[in-house]
Chains A and B, each alone.
Chain A
Amino acid sequence: MVQLTMAKAINEGLRRAMADDPKVLVMGEDIGKLGGVFRVTDRLQEEFGAQRVIDTPLAESGIVGTAVGLALRGFRPVVEIQFDGFVYPAFDQIVCQVAKLHYRTRGNVRMPLTIRIPWAGGVGAAEHHSESPEAYFVHTSGLRVVAVSNPQDAYLMLRQAIASDDPVVYFEPKRLYHAKGDVDLDVDPADAPPMGLARVAREGTDATVLTYGAQVITALDAALAAEEDGISLEVIDLRSLSPLDHRTIGASVRKTGRVVITHEAAREAGVGAELVASVTERCFHYLESPPVRVTGHDIPYPPAKLEKHHVPDLDRILDAVDRVLDRPNSLTGVEL
């Protein structure tokens, strides 16, 4: 066991994947000498050379499009999109090419691409630097979508993503880049729980909180606070958004009968909507109350000084817990 920040854990994941497999390439803007704007690729170019750690021209569509060609040729590219808000110029390549080539070629072409995206807000960033675009990708068949919440998962799930023959969109919460945690670097990624599995981050009996990414930390804080009120919350870290781990989710919902979902992406047609729909379909007769979503508002990500009103905090989660438990809450008396 070592103590590593999430950024360092990902860095180590990249290093070991590159060392193990000469076909693994890392490419993106400023990832070479600078080591990436978050230093996640720090020193990789020194170690593996500029042919395998590629500083690309400043063109997201170009980065992903050339990675498709490299994958066709048998490489396993790991691309870095510098910030969440800059993935959109590459959207066409991701949804039309990366996601569909395997299907289009009846399985003849594999797209073992990993698309790393520093993701989401809470760090006081400028416009376009705090986006939560996960739902766009979850909606696209052919992609796997994961979101990590701690250094151990960050390390192992990255290794698993790179090893996967499917394309994986891999979300890294910027808010947690510097958060430290224990990492066992010697676990064989093949023996670790697969990246498609959710994790029970905290056990509880009164209600289930479903969440992912940096919101896992906020949800755990909320669970601690709820405990003081005698409420026992179970917190599920989804880890994988596509596919969703309905087994783990369902087991928890059947146990507690009450569901709160929290994410910082906007609500409308977000991952939360999918969770409510699927939980309702699967566990309707076990539900004691309607599931409740706590999300970002349906607004463009607001300026930094106002982001605390957008990203769900502990109190908003507790307010939703009060709703599912039918305790007094901000909507008491309001016609919905």
Chain B
Amino acid sequence: MTTVHTLNPTADPATDVDDVARLLSPGGERVADPDLQEWIADVDTAAIRRLYRDMVLLRRIDDEGVALQRQGQLGLWPPCRGQEATQIGTARALRADDFAFPSYRETGVVFARGGKPSDYVLAWRGEGHSTYDPYELHTATQQIIIGAQSLHAVGYAMGVQRDGGDQVAAAYFGDGATSQGDVNEAMVFAASFGAPVVFVCTNNQWAISEPVSVQARFPIAGRAPGFGIPSMRVDGNDVLACLAAMRWATDHARRGRGPVFLEAVTYRMGPHTTSDDPTRYRDKEEVEIWRRRDPIDRVEALLRAEGAFDDAFVAGVGADADALAAAVREAAMGAVTRPALSIFDDVYAEPHTGIDEQRAAYAAYLDGFATAQGA
């Protein structure tokens, strides 16, 4: 059952990117997978078209984010190009009342959860740390402290158990995050309590400049069984496989069978953020290999083969993407910075004399300028 008794328990370092479950080959042909395919038996051409549209729209938001940053409208942007299938496929498997805990790069998760154009850009513009009500989207504020959200997800799932609910928490984090104590502690807690949580590790090969081999000598999905958590390593550029695997995982957790761990093997095509310079640490050839595995091209090839990629469809998706990009841009350009005194808001939920005094003193100080100008 396990490889615990072998003399050579280490496998290939985590670099064999083809050792994954898939339903769609890099060329876009369907691949049979006895475990996964039943989970997308209902996914017809119309549903595949919707997944395609989601990914195109996400890529467009992402491109707009990069452009707005370059134009000085945003302070920073963390591109997710290349990771569309992982984000859309897994997030589309969640129920509206499940709770997602994304990282800074999971723009597509926020999109799939119903984010508004302003939700993608205002935090990166520095207008506010969070732009949506987590309870409205059932999605936590995008996390910057690496791995911290994995514990929040487990705690949320433990709350679901105590409420007798049937929601699932989804913890998203990167390959780098698997080195963090928090992620490992999260797995211990989740397994110990049988919490309904799905860990989605997006293995995009890099943690800023560090290849996955600095974080892991064994395929990352192989760790979870050591915590007592079933896991699957899935092709993260195959949206059908991501959807199917996440449906399996959430079903498992929802039925009270405990946590699941998915490793989505994908690639970050762009820089880590707009401040990063990936030419310092990775080869052009590697990027080229992954360009040929593009998650959107792959679905396009499938739809073409199935005669479902007609001009009207393409034009419709294109028009939707244009409109969304314009709305994102408008949200950034039209942002109104909150008044100065708002920095004192919400530090405490109830009145607090210390902060109230500071607010009043700063207000008086600012008023001094107004008076001086008036005089």
A interface residues, Cβ below 8 angstroms from B: 29-30, 32-35, 37, 55-59, 61-62, 85-86, 88-89, 124-128, 267-268, 297-300, 302-306, 309-310, 316, 319, 330-331, 334
CA distance A25 to B374 in the complex (A): 60
CA distance A305 to B209 in the complex (A): 29
How distant is A91 from chain B, measured CB to nearest CB, in Å?
12
B interface residues, Cβ below 8 angstroms from A: 75-76, 123-129, 144-146, 176-177, 179-182, 207-210, 214-215, 275, 277, 280-281, 337-338, 340, 342-344, 347, 354-355, 358, 361-362, 364-365, 368
The 7 closest A-B pairs by CB, nearest first: A304-B126, A57-B179, A34-B209, A330-B365, A58-B176, A302-B343, A305-B126
- List the B side residues contacting A61 at CB < 8 Å: 181
With known contacts A57-B215, A128-B145, A319–B365 Cβ distance under 8 A: yes
- List the B side residues contacting A88 at CB < 8 Å: 145
Report whether over half of chain A's contact residues are helix, strand or loop; otherwise say mixed: loop
Tell whether, in the assembled complex, residue A268 and residue B145 are in contact, meaning their CB atoms are under 8 Å apart: no
Can you list 25 A-B contacts (CB < 8 A)?
A: A30-B208, A32-B209, A34-B208, A34-B277, A34-B280, A34-B281, A55-B214, A59-B179, A62-B179, A85-B145, A86-B145, A88-B145, A126-B76, A128-B144, A268-B354, A297-B343, A297-B344, A298-B355, A299-B347, A306-B337, A306-B340, A306-B343, A319-B365, A319-B368, A330-B365
Tell whether, in the assembled complex, residue B358 and residue A298 are in contact, meaning their CB atoms are under 8 Å apart: yes
CA distance A3 to B129 in the complex (A): 38
- List the B side residues contacting A334 at CB < 8 Å: 361, 364
How distant is B63 from chain A, measured CB to nearest CB, in Å?
20
- List the B side residues contacting A127 at CB < 8 Å: 123, 129, 144
Interface centre among B182, B208, B209 (most CB of A within 10 A): B209
How distant is B262 from chain A, measured CB to nearest CB, in Å?
20
How distant is B124 from chain A, measured CB to nearest CB, in Å?
7
CA distance A61 to B147 in the complex (A): 13
Tell whether, in the assembled complex, residue A297 and residue B182 are in contact, meaning their CB atoms are under 8 Å apart: no
How distant is A255 from chain B, measured CB to nearest CB, in Å?
29
- List the A side residues contacting B126 at CB < 8 Å: 124, 126, 303-306
Tell whether, in the assembled complex, residue A299 and residue B343 are in contact, meaning their CB atoms are under 8 Å apart: yes
CA distance A29 to B177 in the complex (A): 12
How distant is A227 from chain B, measured CB to nearest CB, in Å?
21
How distant is A303 from chain B, measured CB to nearest CB, in Å?
5
Tell whether, in the assembled complex, residue A33 and residue B344 are in contact, meaning their CB atoms are under 8 Å apart: no
With known contacts A85-B145, A303-B128, A305-B125, A57–B214 Cβ distance under 8 A: yes
Tell whether, in the assembled complex, residue B144 and residue A330 are in contact, meaning their CB atoms are under 8 Å apart: no
CA distance A237 to B342 in the complex (A): 32
Tell whether, in the assembled complex, residue A125 and residue B365 are in contact, meaning their CB atoms are under 8 Å apart: no
- List the B side residues contacting A30 at CB < 8 Å: 208-210
Tell whether, in the assembled complex, residue A29 and residue B210 are in contact, meaning their CB atoms are under 8 Å apart: yes
CA distance A37 to B209 in the complex (A): 9
Tell whether, in the assembled complex, residue A59 and residue B180 are in contact, meaning their CB atoms are under 8 Å apart: yes
With known contacts A303-B128, A316-B365, A58–B340 Cβ distance under 8 A: no
Tell whether, in the assembled complex, residue B182 and residue A89 are in contact, meaning their CB atoms are under 8 Å apart: yes
Tell whether, in the assembled complex, residue A330 and residue B361 are in contact, meaning their CB atoms are under 8 Å apart: yes
Tell whether, in the assembled complex, residue A29 and residue B75 are in contact, meaning their CB atoms are under 8 Å apart: no
